Amino acid sequence: MQEKLFVVKIGGALIDDEELLNEFLKQFSEIKEKKILVHGGGKLATTLADKLGVEQKMINGRRITDKDTLDIVAMVYAGGINKNIVAKLQQKKCKAIGFSGADANLIKAKKREHAEIDFGFVGDIEKKSVNRKLISKLIKLKLVPVFSAITHDKKGNLFNTNADTIASVIAQALSSKYDVELLYCFDKSGVLEDVENPESVIKNISEEEFSTLKNEGKLHKGILPKLENALGAVKNNVNKVFLIKETELKNHIENHHAGTEICL
Amino acid sequence: MQEKLFVVKIGGALIDDEELLNEFLKQFSEIKEKKILVHGGGKLATTLADKLGVEQKMINGRRITDKDTLDIVAMVYAGGINKNIVAKLQQKKCKAIGFSGADANLIKAKKREHAEIDFGFVGDIEKKSVNRKLISKLIKLKLVPVFSAITHDKKGNLFNTNADTIASVIAQALSSKYDVELLYCFDKSGVLEDVENPESVIKNISEEEFSTLKNEGKLHKGILPKLENALGAVKNNVNKVFLIKETELKNHIENHHAGTEICL
């Protein structure tokens, strides 16, 4: 039997709420198994860009990361947010160690290529982008890696990379060594059948059901990429993948089910 | 014989000069022995504070790190600067891994105590503040730690800490395991007898000579704390301590002498 490893992803709304974040980090620090945390950005980067007069550029509705924006997200994600989360986890006796993908070449990305749009400093990653061996060694030292959504290309450039994707590829890469459970934590109790009804949690979504829901237009725009990353994980040997409510982390781990399970 | 370890400190002026920084990082990456880099801040934090309207508070001529200023330096030092240096070193095939003192509890500080002044989020450290065992393990994994001047108190708070002091205490802590050489790199060729004459490098300064120079008012205000940190290192078993010009790193390491050596 392989050893259990939780890869837990948290997003911006949680990070922006100090009290909720503290409660979440308490629950996270109490997980007895091996674990990794991946965090997104929150509003801070946008607020800072506004204050500094750095305009957020969009092309065809897609966000562009120009050099000024990259400088801001690198500071905010890999500096401010990451180090505050690490300090708070350390307070809770969790041996957190904060990383960007540049550190020890842990996640090497490729600049996003697109026929019409130059996304700027946006990095795409896949399973093999992850330095699986070194992450395993760090976990063996009883450390708890905390990843910000910043990667690099080993050519001296930092990149902005989707945090859901980072969580997915880390989970995939470590599945050869560990029994990995990937948890996407967000502010809903799971994927909802009816977005107006918080009780309408769909217990399981298979690849086929995902296609159906997607084609029927039943999936909220924000949940789509998260589900795609979740499906990417189960298709690449991640043992279990759930979307759960942030406040349900402890309950999910102790009672083995909460939220929506994504399966093949 | 213990294995050689270089602890190299660089400061703000170098960090602000992209071309000079790149040349320095090239020289640093070519050091064959084990090595650690410690970096200061540069103008970026001050520029950002100005733009954000965060006033720099001084009491009796001493800088105060209030919460807003701490948030800025944490972002800039541990995020922007640290990750850019790490990415550039990775490009140069150096296995850099960036840290604040909060990461893996590598440097635990105490809030500065002072009878009259509350310095705010300023952390003081000493030799025993350093997690020597874990840094040694990381070095054994062939990683090259890159430290920003941010520490923590294990109570959830980040601190601003003097980068010269960080370099000194890391060098001290690792001296039981390694033959440590501490190099303070700056924009002069060493400590100058006559600050107007760049050729007037003092080859050696002992503790006694330091006192004499200090009492005679011959030491530039900026060099004083650096020399005090350098002396603290030699008094705590660091094998060799030099102040050298940033562009002389490679020359110093290959030819065994450049700049000013600090000795007992």
User: Mean pLDDT per segment of 10 residues, for chain B of length 264 residues?
Assistant: 96 93 98 97 89 86 89 97 98 98 98 93 96 98 98 98 97 98 96 89 95 88 90 97 96 88 95
Contact predicate A138/A145, CB 8 Å: yes
Instruction: Identify from B15, B44, B83 which residue to disrupt to test chain A contact, counting A C-beta atoms within 10 A and taking the largest count.
Output: B83
- Nearest chain B Cα distance for residue A176, angstroms: 21
Contact predicate A29/A93, CB 8 Å: yes
pLDDT of residue A62 exceeding 80, the answer is no
**pLDDT score, position A219:** 85
Contact predicate B112/B122, CB 8 Å: yes
**pLDDT score, position B63:** 79
> Any long-range contacts for B51-55 (C-beta under 8 Å, 24+ apart)?
B51/A51, B51/A52, B52/A48, B52/A51, B52/A52
Share of chain A above pLDDT 90, in %: 84
**pLDDT score, position A98:** 98
Q: Quick one: pLDDT band at residue A1, thresholds 50, 70, 90? A: confident
Quick one: closest CA in A to B103, which residue?
A97
Helix (H, G, I), strand (E, B) or coil at B212: helix
Q: Tell me if A83 and B97 make a contact (CB, 8 A cut-off).
A: no
**What pLDDT, in 10s, does the model give residues A120-179?**
999 999 999 999 999 999 999 999 999 999 999 999 999 999 999 999 999 999 999 999
The closest of A185, A170, A186, A164 to A230, measured between CA atoms, is A164
Which pair of structure tokens corresponds to residue B82? 């640290």
Q: What is the architecture, at CATH level 2, of domain B3-263? A: 3-Layer(aba) Sandwich (3.40)
pLDDT of residue A82 exceeding 80, the answer is yes
**pLDDT score, position B59:** 79
Which pair of structure tokens corresponds to residue B54? 């965060």
Q: Is B103 on the interface with A (CB under 8 A)?
A: yes
pLDDT of residue A195 exceeding 90, the answer is no
Q: How many CB pairs under 8 A join A and B?
A: 119
Cβ-based neighbours of B49, under 8 Å, separated by 6 or more? B55, B56, B68, B69, B72
Q: Tell me if B87 and A51 make a contact (CB, 8 A cut-off).
A: no
Rounded-to-integer distance, Cα B242 and Cα B15, Å: 20
**pLDDT score, position B123:** 96
**pLDDT score, position B56:** 85
Average pLDDT, chain A: 94
Rounded-to-integer distance, Cα B244 and Cα B260, Å: 7
Average pLDDT over residues A108-120: 94
**pLDDT score, position A12:** 84
Nearest to B76 among A52, A75, A91 (CB): A75
- DSSP assignment of B43-112, as one string? THHHHHHHHTT---EEETTEEEB-HHHHHHHIIIIIIIIHHHHHHHHHHTT--EEEE-TTGGG-BB-EEP
Average pLDDT over residues A241-251: 96
Say what angle helices B18-29 and B82-91 make with each other, to 10 degrees.
Answer: 50
pLDDT of residue A256 exceeding 80, the answer is no
**pLDDT score, position B218:** 84
pLDDT of residue A208 exceeding 80, the answer is yes
Average pLDDT over residues A40-51: 89
Rounded-to-integer distance, Cα A227 and Cα A27, Å: 24
The closest of A97, A104, A81 to A36, measured between CA atoms, is A97
